[in-house]
Amino acid sequence: MIAAILNNRDQYGDLDCEDTKTWKTHVPEWLHEYGNVFSKNKSEKIPIWKPYDHMIDFVEGAMLPKPVKVYLLSLAKRNSLDIWIDKELRKGYI
């Protein structure tokens, strides 16, 4: 149900708007306290640094693996995956 709401923003309205009545009518009441989780704007921001975060140390001059697609995908699925990867790269997630 929640995925349907997030995928059909036009039908259910913008989840980030001040009037939360729209999404609250479609999300179970026990999830309303987590409304910020459904925010598109907040989901596209990297969380603030926490003390338990750690750095990954890279070895200078190390050989990188050859970039290959690990799974065989149909053309449509590969294009869909490439679009998703581009979107996540733009957000800075990967």
Higher pLDDT, 49 or 83: 83
pLDDT of 80: 95
> How remote is the C-alpha of 44 from its chain's centroid?
7
**pLDDT, tens digit, 9 for 90 and up, residues 30-54:** 888 887 776 666 667 777 888 888 8
pTM for the complete prediction? 0.40
Type of residue numbered 15 = L
Name 73's Cβ contacts closer than 8 Å, sequence gap at least 6. Answer: 81
pLDDT of 10: 44
Distances (CA, A) of 29 to 7, 10, 17, 39, 91: 20, 22, 18, 17, 30
